[in-house]
């Protein structure tokens, strides 16, 4: 199996544990008259799982789409490994994106491709010197990580919701990203499968030492995986603390998220 | 008030489409080229459309001949039937009908496919994985439609002329050699070149509109349907507008 050095992915060196990997400063984003993010600030550290909580339409998905460069903020800084994402050229942005994985809410697997082709797609674009044998090994390793090695030649339409989520996670991980952004990873899944996905996220985080931002409404998921919880309210970071700190808060706006 | 709103919408759409086309030229047609995907699209768009284009071309040639015969007979010039049918098919009917059928099949398919990819965030996923969707999805499809429609038109014209030959033989006996000799003797370079040249523009229009509508599909399955439908309607209208401009242009050049 080919060893792909992290230095192949970009100019930055491996970040030490606890060092900031994402720093967001005074972020503003509006759609027409609707101001979604209003002076939003956040720092995510190496190997930290930050869960962003908030009502529907609060701007949680907008936030992670700004981080990955799918949306351009109106103002503010989004520093990923010290590089301001909104200022990057398309080529530089592609380079930074190899260090960031994104798990879409609806999985976003290419439905005209098999599972193997879905996983090969990012590999073929970034690591063009890999042989077919190396690609096959990496695909199978990624699928093995999520326990779905036997689905390699199946089409996405043949898989269940939980399996789709796992395959999407395998595709997210195949480029060995250092940061993973999860957009509601357990939405639409039954409680048992949701718990499996939570455990998988934790297992893979420990294995690959990734940092994550997780958007979630699922309080079990939040409790299981969060090192830190951010409450996004009115476009701002309303609360920031551990799950227990926020759960025990006397603030009515925070309490409503933790009520059964 | 509604009229002003409609005009505003039309101008807005035209501007967005021009911007989309400009972005394709500035970003989508730069190396590295997606050759494998381009070939796959040429196969899907070209080869897989051939049976439909061939069938409709054959019927068109046959019906056109059967409809023309009584009029020519009444003037006593039925011997000119191959010439008339040949010129009509090669210069106008072949390219336009092929392009309209192509717009119906391929324009809707591109609009629906990209629209569906848009609403299921597959285009975003592609961008996140470091692939420029304009290069991978738009440039390949637009190039494939631009290159394949002229090929399909030439093949469609040939099949259509064969249909016309069958049509001629329904009323009288004419040899294949004699029929095609008459057809080709009546055609000149200035008949074929403008007719084939305009199909490149038809193909480009079908591809770019299908991609634009798909890329700008709104959320939900209804949006995908609307994208597919509007891609067909708009590209069909544009085919006629391009045809009109092509006639004016060839007149100016003295090719008619």
pLDDT tens, residue by residue, B56-87:
999 999 999 999 999 998 998 888 899 999 99
Mean pLDDT taken over chain A:
86
Q: Mind listing the pLDDT tens digit for each residue in A237-255?
A: 899 999 999 988 888 888 8
**pLDDT value at residue B173:** 85
Would you list the DSSP string of B76-136?
T-GGGHHHHHHHIIIIIIHHHHHHHHHIIIIIHHHHHHHHHHHHTTHHHHHHHTT--HIII
Check A126 against B27: CB less than 8 A apart.
no
Candidate from A144-153, B179-188, B218-227 with smallest mean pLDDT? B218-227
List CB contacts (< 8 A) between B120 and chain A: 106, 108, 111
Stronger pLDDT, A257 or B142, i.e. the higher one: B142
- Among A181-190, A233-242, B103-112, B124-133, the range with the most confident prediction by mean pLDDT is B103-112
Q: What's the pLDDT score for residue A129?
A: 80
Pairwise CB contact (< 8 Å): A70 & B124 = yes
| Interaxial angle between packed helices B94-102 and B140-171, expressed in degrees from 0 to 180 and rounded to the nearest 10 | 130
What average pLDDT does range B109-129 have in this prediction?
A: 92
Q: Is the pLDDT of residue A193 over 90?
A: no
Q: Would you say residue A12 has pLDDT above 50?
A: no
At B201, the pLDDT band (50, 70, 90 cuts) reads: very high
Q: Is B128 close to A70, i.e. CB distance below 8 A?
A: yes
pLDDT of B4 strictly over 70: yes
| Contacts (Cβ under 8 Å, ≥6 apart) of A42 | A22, A23, A24, A50, A230, A237
Mention every residue, 6+ apart, whose C-beta is less than 8 A from residue B90: B157, B161, B187, B191, B192, B195
Cα separation, A173 vs A122, in Å, equals 10
Whether A138 has a pLDDT exceeding 60, the answer reads yes
Of A98, A104, A111, the CB nearest to B124: A104
Rounded CA gap, B256 and B252, in Å?
Answer: 9
Domain spans of chain B, in order of start: 29-252
Residue at token pair 């395998």: A170
CA gyration radius, chain A: 18
Predicted TM-score (pTM) above 0.95: no
Share of chain B above pLDDT 90, in %: 70
Query: Alpha-carbon distance B127 to B245, whole Å?
Result: 37
pLDDT at A140 over 50: yes
Chain A residues at the B interface, defined by Cβ less than 8 Å, are 65, 68, 70, 90, 94-95, 97-98, 100, 102, 104-106, 108-111, 121-122, 125-126, 171, 175
- Select the residue of A100, A104, A125 nearest B125 (Cβ to Cβ): A104
Report chain B residues whose CB lies below 8 A from the CB of A176: none
Residue B16 reports pLDDT greater than 90: yes
Chain B residue closest to A66 (CA)?
Answer: B128
Residue B134 in contact with residue B180, Cβ under 8 Å? Answer: no
| Cβ contact, residue pair B129, A104, below 8 Å | no
pLDDT in tens, B221-237: 888 899 999 999 999 99
> What domains sit in chain A, N to C, each tagged with a CATH number?
19-99+179-260 (3.40.50.300), 106-176 (no CATH)
Neighboring chain A residues of B132 at a CB cutoff of 8 Å: 90
Q: Which residues 6+ apart lie within 8 Å of B193 measured at CB?
A: B255
**Which pLDDT does position B219 carry in this prediction?**
66
């Amino acid at each position: 199996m080919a060893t792909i050095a992290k230095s192949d992915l970009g100019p930055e060196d491996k970040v030490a544990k606890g060092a900031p990997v994402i720093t967001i400063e005074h972020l503003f984003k509006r759609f027409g008259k609707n101001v979604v993010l209003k002076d939003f600030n956040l720092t995510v550290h190496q190997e930290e799982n930050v869960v962003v909580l908030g009502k529907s339409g609060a701007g949680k998905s907008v936030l992670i789409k700004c981080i990955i460069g799918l949306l351009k903020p109106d103002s503010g800084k989004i520093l990923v490994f010290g590089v301001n994402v909104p200022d990057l050229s398309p080529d530089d942005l592609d380079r930074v994106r190899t260090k960031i994985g994104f798990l879409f809410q609806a999985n976003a697997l290419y439905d005209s491709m098999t599972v193997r082709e879905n996983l090969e797609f990012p590999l073929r674009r970034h690591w063009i010197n890999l042989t077919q044998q190396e690609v096959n090994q990496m695909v199978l390793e990624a699928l093995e990580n999520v326990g779905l090695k036997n689905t390699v030649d199946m089409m996405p339409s043949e898989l269940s919701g939980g399996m789709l989520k796992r395959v999407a996670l395998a595709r997210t991980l195949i480029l060995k990203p250092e940061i993973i952004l999860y957009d509601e990873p357990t939405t639409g899944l039954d409680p048992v499968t949701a718990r499996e996905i939570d455990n998988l996220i934790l297992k893979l985080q420990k294995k690959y030492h990734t940092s994550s931002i997780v958007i979630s409404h699922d309080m079990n998921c939040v409790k299981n995986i969060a090192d830190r919880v951010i409450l996004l309210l009115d476009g701002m970071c309303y609360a920031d603390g551990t799950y227990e700190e926020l759960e025990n808060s006397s603030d009515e706006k925070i309490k409503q998220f933790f009520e059964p | 008030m509604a009229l002003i709103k409609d005009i505003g919408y039309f101008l807005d759409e035209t501007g967005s489409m021009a911007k989309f086309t400009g972005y394709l030229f500035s970003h989508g047609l730069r190396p590295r080229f997606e050759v494998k995907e381009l070939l796959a699209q040429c196969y899907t768009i070209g080869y897989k459309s051939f049976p439909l284009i061939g069938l409709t071309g054959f019927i068109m040639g046959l019906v056109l001949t059967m409809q023309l015969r009584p009029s020519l007979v009444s003037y006593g010039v039925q011997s000119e039937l191959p010439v008339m049918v040949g010129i009509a098919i090669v210069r106008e009917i072949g390219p336009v009908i092929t392009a309209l059928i192509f717009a119906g099949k391929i324009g809707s398919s591109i609009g629906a496919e990209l629209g569906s990819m848009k609403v299921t965030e597959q285009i975003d996923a592609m961008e996140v994985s470091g692939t420029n969707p304009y290069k991978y999805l738009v440039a390949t499809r637009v190039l494939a439609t631009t290159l394949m429609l002229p090929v399909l038109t030439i093949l469609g014209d040939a099949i259509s002329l064969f249909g016309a030959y069958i049509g001629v033989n329904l009323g009288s006996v004419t040899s294949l050699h004699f029929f095609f000799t008459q057809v080709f003797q009546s055609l000149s370079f200035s008949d074929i070149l403008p007719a084939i040249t305009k199909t490149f523009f038809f193909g480009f229009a079908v591809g770019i509109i299908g991609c634009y509508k798909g890329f700008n599909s709104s959320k939900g399955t209804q949006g995908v349907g609307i994208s597919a439908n509007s891609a067909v309607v708009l590209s069909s209208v544009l085919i006629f507008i391009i045809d009109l401009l092509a006639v004016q242009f060839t007149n100016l050049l003295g090719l008619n």
